[in-house]
Amino acid sequence: MDIFQELEQKMLQDTIEGRIATELHDVTKQYQEGILTKEDYVTLLQDIEMIEQANNIADDEVLSRWLTETIKILISAI
């Protein structure tokens, strides 16, 4: 399963992880459609990671690692 399929699957969950997956999916789709530049896309991904790490998932090590790894994969795919 690729990262985009994983995001789509997680989007169905009514959890913090599902909400984050939806946000990452939406930002990625905007980049793919040319709405966001590469620089804006990377900045938004990094901002999402920083905000979520600080506010919502600091105590959830598994979710924190998933988010960090997912951001790395999304950035490396461009």
Question: How many Å apart are CA 52 and CA 20, to the nearest integer?
Answer: 8
| Confidence at 46, pLDDT banded by 50, 70, 90 | very high
Model pLDDT for residues 29-43, shown as the tens digit of each residue: 999 999 999 999 999
Please report, for the chain, the start and end positions of each structural domain, with discontinuous segments joined by +. 3-76
Model pLDDT for residues 7-30, shown as the tens digit of each residue: 999 999 999 999 999 999 999 999
- 5 and 14 in contact (C-beta within 8 Å)? no
Q: What pLDDT score does 44 carry? A: 97
Per cent of the chain over pLDDT 90 is 83
- 6 and 69 in contact (C-beta within 8 Å)? no
